[in-house]
């Protein structure tokens, strides 16, 4: 072979090697199925409630979608995505799958994902993770908590001012710290208005069993309860079903549901009526966007716990669409200001 031909062949081999090396580098720009090319990508793993729970997971996914749209990302690898968990056994495999797909930031939704995130964060220190409603002490994990008790307190104030029977209900999912904060705040808010009002508290033990929520709501309404606040994820859908059935059977029935996490107004529609009094918004979407923004800017709060409350727009009551009169809402807003100003300290645990 002539020197000229040998030199040309060697050049081609080196060029091919350079291209292959570039294609195999981890954490470089990845093109998604939507044609997106980005230096930052994010994803989430749902808990058992699922992406369409009209509550917690759905709010988290909204935050990821909004961040993606604001930053020119497309859904898919290299942009934003989610994996849904059908059971707790899926947490680890789903987190691993998203990590292998080279997402820069992976969110785990829910307290029950603590162990899985702790394990994978230790194994994959080059990936950033965030857990919502839990705390994982790893340098590449941001822990996100909320002052649920503050928003629930306002829901309790509204319920106490609106009840006619002086009997109010609370339906929780699993009896874990985050749901106990909902209960504590709600009960305290009711008591602040009228300590003589009875609050019937029941935990169903699940976040994905609508039939349990329906059964519990049926018992409560039959006992004279006229307003139920649920903090039960998909189980809470059953509370809405029971209230809607009663309203459909008797247009004059005074039955209400206070939704949770997302604005659940649409869940309460019964013909021309609506049984959703308001919803206690837990702005998971706000927290997700905040953490994602910090991560994209190279300021990821790894090893830290961020807590979102009334002052941070982390919790609030949704627009009641007229279900709560203006004079009542004015009183609720007065309580909200006192909480934000530190004048009222809302308890985290029920007595």
- Tell me if the domain spanning 30-146+285-311 has CATH number 3.40.50.2300: yes
How many Cα atoms sit within 13 Å of 338 on the Cβ side?
15
pLDDT recorded at residue 209: 95
**pLDDT given at position 28:** 37
Four-CA torsion 308, 312, 317, 318, nearest 10 degrees: -110
Instruction: Report pLDDT for 13.
Output: 40
Provide the pLDDT for residue 84. 96
Please count the CA atoms within 13 angstroms of the CA of 261 that sit on its side-chain side.
Answer: 30
Spatial neighbors of 237 by CB under 8 A, at least 6 apart, are 53, 54, 210, 213, 267
Contact 329, 314 (CB under 8 A): no
Residue 2: its pLDDT value, please? Answer: 43
Write down the CATH superfamily of domain 148-281+321-340: Response regulator (3.40.50.2300)
Coil/strand/helix, residue 202: strand
Distance CA 239, CA 119 (A): 36
Name, in order, each residue with C-beta under 8 angstroms of 288's C-beta and a sequence gap of 6 or more: 44, 60, 63, 64, 67, 107, 130, 132
As a whole number of angstroms, the distance between CA 311 and CA 325 comes to: 24
Radius of gyration (Cα) for the chain, nearest Å? 24
Distance CA 300, CA 312 (A): 18
pLDDT tens digits, residue range 242-268? 999 999 999 999 999 999 988 999 999
SS3 state of residue 270: strand
Q: Kindly list the domain boundaries of the chain, sorted by start residue.
A: 30-146+285-311, 148-281+321-340
Low-confidence ranges of the chain (pLDDT < 50): 1-37
Give tens-digit pLDDT for 186-216. Answer: 999 999 999 999 999 999 999 989 999 999 9
**Assigned token pair, 269:** 């529609």
pLDDT of residue 36: 44
Q: What is the pLDDT of residue 20?
A: 36
Sorted by sequence, the CB contacts under 8 Å of residue 71 that are 6+ apart come out as 38, 40, 296
Question: Which of 240, 236, 237 is CA-nearest to residue 256?
Answer: 240
3 state SS of 130: strand
The reply to whether domains 30-146+285-311 and 148-281+321-340 share a CATH topology is: yes
Say if residues 257 and 270 touch (Cβ distance below 8 Å): no
Instruction: Map tokens 């220190």 to a residue.
Output: 125
What are the Cα distances from residue 33, in Å, to 46, 71, 338? 22, 17, 49
Quick one: pLDDT at residue 197? 98
- Taking the model in full, what pTM does it have? 0.83
């Amino acid at each position: 072979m002539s020197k000229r031909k040998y030199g040309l062949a060697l050049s081609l081999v080196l060029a091919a090697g350079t291209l292959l090396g570039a294609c195999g580098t981890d954490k470089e720009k990845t093109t998604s199925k939507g044609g997106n090319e980005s230096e930052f990508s994010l994803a989430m793993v749902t808990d058992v409630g699922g992406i369409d729970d009209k509550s917690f997971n759905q709010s988290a996914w909204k935050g990821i979608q909004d961040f993606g749209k604001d930053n020119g990302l497309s859904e898919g690898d290299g942009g934003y995505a989610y994996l849904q968990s059908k059971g707790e056994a899926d947490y680890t495999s789903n987190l691993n799958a998203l990590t292998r797909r080279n997402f820069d930031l992976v969110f785990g939704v829910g307290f029950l994902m603590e162990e899985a995130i702790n394990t994978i964060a230790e194994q994959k220190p080059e990936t950033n993770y965030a857990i919502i409603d839990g705390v994982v002490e790893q340098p590449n994990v941001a822990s996100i908590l909320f002052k649920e008790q503050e928003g629930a307190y306002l829901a309790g104030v509204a319920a106490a001012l609106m009840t006619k029977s002086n009997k109010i209900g609370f339906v929780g999912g699993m009896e874990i710290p985050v749901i106990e904060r909902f209960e504590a705040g709600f009960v305290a808010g009711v008591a602040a208005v009228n300590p003589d009002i009875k609050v019937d508290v029941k935990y169903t033990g699940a976040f994905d069993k609508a039939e349990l929520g329906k059964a519990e709501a049926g018992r409560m309404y039959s006992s004279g309860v006229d307003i139920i606040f649920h903090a039960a994820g998909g189980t809470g859908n059953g509370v809405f079903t029971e209230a809607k059935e009663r309203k459909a059977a008797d247009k004059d029935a005074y039955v209400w549901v206070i939704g949770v996490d997302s604005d659940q107004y649409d869940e309460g529609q019964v013909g021309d009526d609506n049984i959703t009094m308001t919803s206690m918004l837990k702005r998971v979407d706000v927290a997700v966007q905040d953490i994602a923004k910090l991560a994209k800017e190279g300021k990821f709060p790894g090893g830290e716990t961020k807590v979102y409350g009334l002052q941070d727009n982390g919790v609030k009551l949704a627009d009641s669409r007229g279900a709560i009169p203006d004079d009542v809402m004015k009183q609720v807003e007065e309580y909200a200001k006192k909480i934000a100003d530190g004048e009222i300290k809302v308890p985290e645990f029920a007595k």
